[in-house]
Amino acid sequence: MLLAVEVNNSTIALGVHDGESWRARWRLQTVVGRTGDEYAFLIGKMLRELRLGAEPRRAVLASVVPALTEVFGDVVERLSRSRPLVLGPGVKTGLDLRVDHPSEVGADLVAGAVAAHAMARGACVVVGFGAATTFTAVSAQGALVGVAIAPGLGTGAEALAERTAGLPRASLLPPSSVLGKNTVHAMQAGVVLGHVGLVRHLVGRIGDELGTGAVGVATGELAPLLAPLIPEIVVSDPWLTLDGLRLISDRNPR
């Protein structure tokens, strides 16, 4: 079985694949100060409770948190008893990175693009809803041709609450109207619906530049909340990056 791990700034996505389907997928909160022993204990406990019948013997890792990349390399090796494939330069992805500095493209964006292109079988725009909202443009031929990055929904909401003395923290739920009748609803209208407008505009612009009827694909923890509000998004899969890691692992037999 394969253990796939994606380490992001806000959450850590994990999944166990048996060669045919995902047996389990779950998320942990990212805590940079947590030790490798603590992460190994938490993940090992979850694996035991799942009672999968067998332990993972292969592993693949994508991390955009430099302070945790080596930590999780060791953690995953302890749990799978094999050194993980760490997504980075030299790893075969099947994706042509047509950008100025390929090494700067986040491992999560690469994995998401691989999975989205395999799913869409053509040009696509991958929208990742995390601490940042990312837009990854993939051509019909499977080339990553550009990326746009904006503050994430939660990041924008936190900044608004922290930098304005009179505004509270509001839940990230879409209001029934863009015309707020109280402070919380007004913030939800501006933050949530404003973010929806940002996403719709950028997906449309990227689609125009790709010029091939690109498919909008959403992923990330907030995808189930936001994707239904965005007509340009055709497919929503909060675990898309794990599928990309699985495909990349298959392309790099060890």
152 and 211 assigned to the same domain: yes
Give me the CATH number covering residue 36: 3.30.420.40
Catalytic residue positions? 108
47 and 164 assigned to the same domain: no
- Record the pTM: 0.92
Residue 182 marked in a binding site:
no
The reported pLDDT for the residue numbered 114 is 98
129 and 207 assigned to the same domain: yes
Task: Decide which of 86, 110, 132 is a domain's last residue.
Answer: 86
Asked if residue 15 lies in contact with residue 242, where contact means CB atoms within 8 angstroms, the answer is yes
Compute the distance between CA of residue 230 and CA of residue 200 in angstroms, rounded to an integer.
6
144 and 233 assigned to the same domain: yes
Please give the average per-residue pLDDT across 128-135, as a whole number. Answer: 95
The reported pLDDT for the residue numbered 62 is 98
Express each pLDDT in 76-94 by its tens digit.
999 998 999 999 989 999 9
Please give the average per-residue pLDDT across 8-26, as a whole number. Answer: 94
The reported pLDDT for the residue numbered 167 is 86
Task: Decide which of 28, 51, 86 is a domain's last residue.
Answer: 86
Compute the distance between CA of residue 47 and CA of residue 55 in angstroms, rounded to an integer.
8
Strand order in the sheet with 58-63: 22-29, 11-17, 2-7, 58-63, 85-86
Residue 183 marked in a binding site:
yes
Express each pLDDT in 134-153 by its tens digit.
999 999 999 999 999 999 99
Which residues constitute the domain of residue 115? 96-244
Residue 227 marked in a binding site:
no
